[in-house]
Each structure stands twice: as structure tokens, then as C-alpha cells.
Amino acid sequence: MNAVASPLLAVVVGCSAGGLAALQLLLGGLRRPLQVPMVVVCHSGSEDMRLFCELLATRSGLPVREAEERQLPEPGQVYVAPSGYHLLVERDGRFALSVDPRVAFSRPSIDVLFESAAETWRGRLLAVLLTGANSDGARGCQRVRELGGRVVVEDPRTAQVPTMPAAALELAGADHCLPLADIPSLLETLCP
């Protein structure tokens, strides 16, 4: 581990098919809230992500809510991108939304969140890519690494749907690649 690395400012998470179950395991595996905000894009096909947030909050005991336009994310909170909008991080660290065309067939797109977060938080960002059936997130992971941030990819061999983590590994590589069950303790180590 790099001893001189600055503490993280945020964790971004992307997932698609199988995402809800994976997020429940990820958040449920944390013994306490992280000391940074966590921002999630999950393609769910749902019109309204608030029920999704409630499910996650109930299962994990963590504060989970929909990301709000122009809001400054707070440590310990989990934010989920609303349905039908891309979620971006502005340079001042606040959320922005857009209805620009789909990216990688998705809106919200993981690439859009990861790329904008990378440009804002640079080397102090950790990106986590989980299960999914498309290749959204691969370019985003690439961008995160280019700008000095770290990337954790769920091991495709144990992911519910391996396509997405495999696509990210192929394009961007990763700083860590491990089974979902081991990711929570890694997050706790990286965000002390």
C-alpha cells in the first residue's frame, strides 16, 4: 500500500444485472459507514429508484438516498443515481444531472459518473465495478486510473454476471480484483 497516498474523498460504485443483490452484500458487509460519500449507479430498469434506496438502506442499516441535483455529497452517506438521468460530479464536488443521450446504452451511465468523478477527485477517488451484463463502466474505470484514482473490479469468476467486470479488466485493468465478499473489508481498509 502506498503510504504517501492522500486519503480518499469518495467511492463510486457501478453495477447492472444482479446489481441490487450485489449492493446489498457490499453495503451489508460494511461494519460502519465509510468516512467518505459513496455514489452508486445501478441500471435497474426501474422508473423510480426510491424503493431501491429503501431496500438497500433496510438491508445495510446505512443512510441510502437518491442523489439530488446540486447537492454536496456528505461522508457516510450512500447516494444512488435517479432513473433516467446521468449523474455527474461537478468540479466543486456537487452533483449534476443530465438527460444527454444514453452512453453504452445506459442512462444513468456508469462511464459518465466515473469519468466526471475522476476529473474532480483525481487520485483521491476509489471506483468499484460489480456484476453486469454490458460493458458500461469500462471506459470510466480507464479514466479513473488515468487520473490517478484506484479501481476495484469484482472477480468475474464469482460475479453473478461476469460481462461487465470482465470488460473493465480488459480495457482498464484494476488495482484490485477480488470476490464480492472481500470488497467490504478492502473498502474499510482504504477508507480508514
Report if residue 182 touches other proteins, rule: CB under 8 A: no
Count the residues of the shown chain that bind other proteins, applying the rule CB under 8 A.
24
Q: Please give the grid coordinates belonging to residue 11.
A: 467511492
**Smallest gap from residue 95 Cβ to other proteins (A):** 9
Are 71 and 94 a contacting pair, CB within 8 Å?
yes
Q: Of 132-161, which residues contact other proteins (CB under 8 A)?
A: 146-148
One symbol per residue from 15 to 34: x for binding other proteins (CB under 8 A), - otherwise; what is it? --------------------
* C-alpha to C-alpha distance for 113 and 119, rounded to whole angstroms: 10
**Smallest gap from residue 29 Cβ to other proteins (A):** 30
Over its C-alpha atoms, the chain yields an Rg (Å, rounded) of 15
One symbol per residue from 55 to 94: x for binding other proteins (CB under 8 A), - otherwise; what is it? -------------xxxx----------x-xx--xxxx---
The β-bridge relationship of strands 150-154 and 125-129 is parallel
Catalytic entry in 106, 109, 136, 155:
136
Q: Please give the grid coordinates belonging to residue 98.
A: 443530465
**Residues 100, 157, 170, 181: which binds other proteins (CB under 8 A)?**
100
Beta strands (DSSP E) in 5-115 are 10-15, 38-42, 64-66, 78-80, 86-89, 95-98
